[in-house]
A and B are shown apart, each in its own frame.
Chain A
Amino acid sequence: MYHVNLIEQFDRGVEEMGREVSESCVESLVTEIVSSYCNGFYADKPELAARRIEAIGFQVGHQLSERYTMDRPRFTDHLEAIKFICKDFWSEVFKKQIDNLKTNHRGTFVLQDNRFRWLSRMSVDPSIETLGSIQDPSAMAENKAAQAIGMHLYFPCGIIRGALSNLGIPCAVSADISNLPACSFVIRIKA
């Protein structure tokens, strides 16, 4: 993996904010999406619940990329589009940029957010604090709290996939939380 410098070109000044709502509103919605789909209609079918949550994120990302690219030149390549996700897009949605971008130059990109807002602010099970020390991924898979977090992450994964897909970049997106509160999003571009 190669490190990609995010501090360069395209840095736009802080734009004037349009209409705003309290951040609690967005967090409340995300929490309700997850609990409705995981505890409600798809309680015994977690993979179906995951797909629905991801689909909701996909629509949001698809629409947001349309809005957030309105005043900028077209991207010339995938890297430029990914950098846009890391910077402008992330700033609009999470009020900070991605901290670290890596790529293997063969279509895989890893976006690391050192303090992913929806995990650090959301009221998830307190036992997640201990998760950072769990190294064995299989142990983690069995951990209920990790599963709950995983469900929450289908939403931002869907947002990223929706945004890139609308920019003409079909891809698969997954999340890695082995380093909480850091969270990495892995984007694999489909050839």
Chain B
Amino acid sequence: MIVCVAVVGHQNNPLYIQSFTEADDALKLHHIVHCSLDVVDERVNNPKKSSPTLNETFLGLLYPTENYKVYGYLTNTKVKLILVTTDLDVRDADVRNFFRKFHAAYVDAVSNPFHVPGKKITSRTFAERVSTIVKSFGLSSAS
């Protein structure tokens, strides 16, 4: 189950963060997202030369904690997309598929002429779309 997703600007400014848990652990999740940003920077600034993922937007598993797995994605415009899940057995294809849809939703949200670059994404359409994507996570990797 996805417990948290986030969009973070190129100066590590949060543009959108949403948790999907019943429990009151938003603060903890925000902290996890925050910590993951350093890992993203680390990955991007010191890429493993042998890595096949060099410059690929999908950064893969950033770090596992005791209870969570954190995945990252970095767009060409230096926007970070973060996914936190409690699933232990996550398929790579599902995560990639999630980020592809999440990225598309983000791009449409910032295509709104009234969106100000660098400002928080307040669009209701975006929030609904993200929630749908989150719910469909792992159900089918075919689409």
Contacts and interface: CB of A to CB of B under 8 A. Distances in A.
Interface residues of A, number: 16
B107 interface: yes
Interface in B6-32: 10
B75 A168 contact: no
B73 to A, nearest CB: 11
- Give the dominant DSSP class at B's interface: loop
Contacts of A166: 77, 117
A103 interface: no
A74 B107 contact: no
Given A65-B76, A69-B76, A73-B57, 8 more contacts: A62-B117, A63-B111, A70-B104, A74-B56, A75-B55, A75-B76, A168-B10, A168-B78
B1 interface: no
Interface of B: 10, 54-57, 74-78, 103-104, 107, 110-111, 113, 117
Contacts of A65: 76-77
A143 to B, nearest CB: 35
A167 B111 contact: no
A69 B111 contact: no
A72 B56 CA distance: 8
B69 to A, nearest CB: 23
A76 B55 contact: yes
A67 B110 CA distance: 9
A92 interface: no
A59 interface: yes
A58 to B, nearest CB: 10
A66 interface: yes
Contact of B75 (A63, A69, A76): A69
Nearest to B44: A74
Contact of B77 (A59, A73, A76, A168): A168
Interface string A157-179: 00000000011100000000000
Given A69-B75, A69-B77, A74 B57 contact: yes
Contacts of A168: 10, 77-78
A70 B107 contact: yes
Given A76-B55, A167-B76, A168-B10, A66 B110 contact: yes
